[in-house]
Amino acid sequence: MASSLPAKKILVVDDNQIILNVLSSALKSGGYEVFAAVDGPAAFTVVLQEQPDLILLDIFFPPDIFQSGNTWDGFLIMRWLQCMGGPRANRTPVFVISGLNRGNSGSLSGRRRSELLPKTGQDTELLDAIQQILARV
């Protein structure tokens, strides 16, 4: 008998459309419902409307020259989620996806429910890590 549970929702936030497409494809093939955002404001909209179960978040974003000129980085997005996203968003686990290696992740220590996953292109590593974190929530 097939499971009637809804698919877990995952929000992928990255300024690189290729990364968004690759991750979205891998996650959809893993049975997840996937939403994509290219910056902080788009991510907040998805969080408020869809209430994802997990957020995959890049750390480094280019300056927003078309809007305020501010730089939205992953740390600022996490702070905004804590302050503005409501109780559900504040409890949503965040996987930081970055070109950083785990040895350079010192600035992530002390962040809320955040873990670092390098952008390695290893779909199985990503899906395994996501399954593990979603099992804990």
3-state SS record for 29-60: HCCCEEEEECCHHHHHHHHHHHCCCEEEECCC
* 3-state DSSP assignment of residue 116: strand
Query: What percent of the chain has pLDDT above 90?
Result: 20
Band of pLDDT at residue 83, cut at 50, 70 and 90: confident
Q: pTM score > 0.85 for this model?
A: no
Which residues, 6+ apart, have CB-to-CB distance to 85 below 8 Å? 44, 47, 48, 92
The confidence score (pLDDT) of residue 56 equals: 92
The confidence score (pLDDT) of residue 110 equals: 42
Q: Is 129 exposed, middle or buried (0-12, 13-18, 19+ CB in 10 A)?
A: middle
